[in-house]
Amino acid sequence: MDDFFDQYDFDVNDAEVEYEVDLLKSKLDDLRSIDALKTCFSCIDLTSLNTTDTLETGKNLAEKVSRFQKDFPYMPNVGAICIYPSLINEVRKNLKAKDVKIATVTAGFPHSQTFLDIKLSESQMAVEEGADEVDIVMSVGRFLEEDYETVYNEIAQIKDAIGDAHLKVILETGTLPTYSSIRLAALIAMEAGADFVKTSTGKINVGATPQAVYVMAQAVKDYYDRTERMVGIKPAGGVVTTNDALTYYGIMKTVLGEDWLNNEYFRLGASRLANNLLSDIKEEPVEYF
Out of 45, 132, 135, 195, the active site residue is 135
Our answer to whether residue 221 is catalytic in this structure is no
Our answer to whether residue 234 is catalytic in this structure is yes
**HEC string of the chain?**
CCCHHHHCCCCCCHHHHHHHHHHHHCCHHHHCCHHHHHHHHHCEEEEECCCCCCHHHHHHHHHHHHHHHHHCCCCCCCCEEEECHHHHHHHHHHCCCCCCEEEEECCCCCCCCCCHHHHHHHHHHHHHHCCCEEEEECCHHHHHCCCHHHHHHHHHHHHHHHCCCEEEEECCHHHCCCHHHHHHHHHHHHHCCCCEEECCCCCCCCCCCHHHHHHHHHHHHHHHHHHCCCCEEECECCCCCHHHHHHHHHHHHHHHCHHHCCCCCECEEECCHHHHHHHHHHCCCCCCC
Out of 234, 244, 253, 280, the active site residue is 234
Our answer to whether residue 98 is catalytic in this structure is no
The residues, ordered by sequence, that sit 6+ positions from 171 with a Cβ below 8 Å of its Cβ are: 138, 140, 182, 185, 186, 189, 197, 198, 199, 200, 212, 216
Out of 195, 198, 253, 280, the active site residue is 198
What residues are annotated to the active site?
135, 198, 234
